Amino acid sequence: MIRAQGGLCIICLRAPAVHVDHCHKTGRVRGVLCFNCNTGIGLLKERPDRIRRAIRYLEGTRGSQHS
């Protein structure tokens, strides 16, 4: 998997891929991440709604409470 990702984190594409990321509900492996990206997903509780609001916030739009 790391070789298929070119040795880099699948999210930032810059740092070395060193942490196997998995879904905590199913145990399914999603990819290999760097420390920072793995931590970021964890701090957002692996919740796509929170991640989407963070994206909107960073892009300069307000995040909806109900997405």
Q: What pLDDT is recorded for position 61?
A: 77
Alpha helix positions (H), the chain: 35-43, 48-58
Tens of pLDDT along the chain (67 residues) come to 999 999 999 999 999 999 999 998 999 999 999 999 999 999 999 999 999 999 999 999 765 555 4
CATH for 2: 3.40.1800.10
Q: State the residue range of the domain holding 33.
A: 1-67
What does pTM read for this prediction? 0.82
Angle at 25 between CA 23 and CA 15, to 5 degrees: 15
Please count the structural domains in the chain: 1
Q: What pLDDT is recorded for position 63?
A: 55
